[in-house]
Amino acid sequence: MNSMRGKLSGVVLLGLVLALVSGCGGKSGKVSGTVTHKGTPLGNGTVVFHPKGEGHEAGSSIHEDGTYLIEDAPVGEVTITVETIHPGPTRPMPPGVPGGDKMAPHTGKYVPIPIRYKDVSNSGLTYTVTPGEQKHDIQVD
């Protein structure tokens, strides 16, 4: 009986260790999705996740097909800002935004969106990032 209890305890302990190693308690998430305006994918611009509490901002270019990928998004509730940019040279992300140095040139079709989406206080876009990979599509009016 003691040997069975010992094995069961070992299995439970192993499960807890595997849960911790597999990403529980992580400090960032990998978020991808598509940014659309009235159902049409945006062809260029930037997306930035701003944490509500402690944490770092993280951003991504919006690709020609409307997709984005933030590999180091802060875990927890974030406010999202979106800005479209006339095609041309890359516009740098705000200082200190991880991933800003990896942004691609803006070559896709420019789609104007309301200016409020680039203001963290007025964008109205929120999301809760969890550790690990996830998909979050962003719709702007």
Residue 23 is given by DSSP the state T
Tens digit of each residue's pLDDT, the chain (141 residues) = 555 454 444 433 334 333 333 344 468 999 999 999 999 999 889 999 999 988 899 999 999 999 999 999 999 999 999 999 876 555 555 666 665 555 555 566 788 999 999 999 999 999 999 999 999 999 998
Kindly tell me the sign of the dihedral angle through the C-alpha atoms of 59, 141, 117, 90: positive
The pTM of the full predicted model, rounded to 2 decimals, is 0.70
Given this model, what pLDDT does residue 3 score?
Answer: 54
126 located within any domain: yes
Query: What is the domain range of residue 69?
Result: 26-140
93 located within any domain: yes
Interacting residues of 16 by C-beta distance below 8 A, sequence separation 6+: none
Q: How many domains does the chain have?
A: 1
- CATH number, domain with residue 135: 2.60.40.10
Given this model, what pLDDT does residue 72 score?
Answer: 95
Kindly tell me the sign of the dihedral angle through the C-alpha atoms of 90, 41, 117, 73: negative
